[in-house]
Structure 1
Amino acid sequence: MHQSPSLQRPLVLGSTSRYRRELLERLNLPFDVAAPHVDENPLPGEAPRALALRLALAKAHAVARQHPEAVVIGSDQVADLAGEPLGKPGQHDRAVQQLRQMRGQTVVFQTALAVVCAATGFEQVDLAPVEVKFRDLSDEEIERYLRAEQPYDCAGSAKSEGLGIALLDAIHSDDPTALIGLPLIRTCRMLRAAGLVLP
């Protein structure tokens, strides 16, 4: 039995990412935001895909413990360059290093999504990989881009929704918002499976 929208469980986004918050706002559902407080360091030898899936689920569970009646979304993204995880650069020098590594390469942005509800025992996790082909960037292009956009809080040092699109040759994905950090097609599918009514 589906609940009417006014009676449905609360929805909580387990993320401090403003990008994910802005994406979730597109669905026109009321939601709260909670910081998941999860250690995001990879385990020894952990593949980027496994890391993203583990962290998305860990974030959802961490927030679900605080909000057991809510449907909780957890998500994580790891840039995967030939099996090596690239995290958020945090600062200019690391961003330069990342973009130099990625020039001319295809990078897979492993975007993982988890939806859990402690009260009902609901749990689903999925991966929305996005293949991104970087142009063969010059050092000058890298420097100009980083000074203009300062994407130091983005995995892989580039914002495709902004000026970062100019660094790319191609994007291949079946869930177009996955690269920004939250695959909305999968999010809608999982929220409906968890019992929420979407507009």
Structure 2
Amino acid sequence: MSSSPPPRPLILGSTSRYRRELLERLRLPFEVRSPETDETPQPGESPAALAQRLALAKAQAVARQHPQAIVIGSDQVADLDGRPIGKPGTHERAREQLRAMSGKAVVFQTAVAVVCADSGFAAQALAPVRVVFRELSDLEIENYLRAEQPYDCAGSAKSEGLGIALLAAIESDDPTALIGLPLIRTGALLRQAGLDPLLHGASA
């Protein structure tokens, strides 16, 4: 009786520790590679379009180096009134971002793409998360930033930590999307690519 071929190797095309920790929940063995992608927005590009383009570009960049593998790429862009809000990088920029988002609804556009060069598979999905920020005082913002130092997070808001205290509401159909990788959509794309976490994971 012939046995089914082993699943293709899985690679996460991201050096984000948040995405790595999320993908570990699916219990699939995977490696991590840096996608080396230019993340400069194009003129007039919407936050949703930017996130989707970069997610696919990251997956494709790694897939070119590892054609036999299934590669996941992801990107997140905070959307404030149609303007992209990226990672602050510094305390000052984080303070400015949170002041701008205070009392407003922000859509965190989180995109994921799955690519396999050998099989020709390429698909992507968008998981928007609507986040309503409380009216924040400068002291609240300062205390939060000093506690969390969220300078590597789009929009400066780490909802998995103290950042949850910044918020009035979170609306999403894919709960991990706000942290950086929408696992419901990721699982669906992986199954389409031939890799099912419930069949090929460590517990299967």
Q: Which residue of 2 aligns with 1:128?
A: 127
Cα shift at 1:44: 1.1
Whether contact under 8 Å (2:136, 2:166) holds in the other structure is yes
Q: 4+ residue stretches of structure 1 with deviation over 6 A?
A: none
| Residue 139 (structure 2) aligns with | 140
Shift of 1:45: 1.2
Partner of 2:19: 20
CA distance in 2, matches of 1:88, 1:42: 13
2:202 corresponds in structure 1 to none
* In 1: Cα distance, 2:93 partner to 2:190 partner: 36
Deviations 1:42-95 (A, max 9, x none): 111111000000000000000000110000000000000000000000000000
1:150 is aligned to 149
Residue 186 of structure 1 corresponds to 185
Instruction: Give the TM-score normalised by structure 2.
Output: 0.95
- TM-score, length basis structure 1: 0.97
Residue 48 (structure 2) pairs with residue 82 (structure 1): no
- In the TM superposition, residue 197 of structure 1 has moved relative to its aligned partner by 2.7
Deviations 1:97-138 (A, max 9, x none): 000000000000000000000000001111000000000000
| AA of the residue aligned to 1:151 | P
What is the percent sequence identity of the aligned residues? 74
Report how many residues are paired. 196
Gaps of 5+ in 2: 199-204
Q: Aligned Cα RMSD in Å?
A: 1.0
* SS at structure 1 position matched to 2:150: coil
Q: How does 1:43-192 map to 2 (within 5 A)?
A: 43-192=42-191
- Contact preservation (8 Å) 2:9, 2:70: yes
Give the letter for the 1:121 counterpart: G
CA contact under 8 A between 2:52 and 2:111: conserved in structure 1? Answer: yes
Amino acid corresponding to residue 7 of structure 1 in structure 2: P
Contact 1:8 1:197 (8 Å CA) reproduced: no
Q: What CA distance in whole angstroms lies between the structure 1 residues aligned with 2:66 and 2:193?
A: 15
Unpaired runs of 5+ residues, structure 1, are none
Distance in 2 between residues matched to 1:32 and 1:58, nearest whole Å: 18
Letter in 1 for 2:154: A
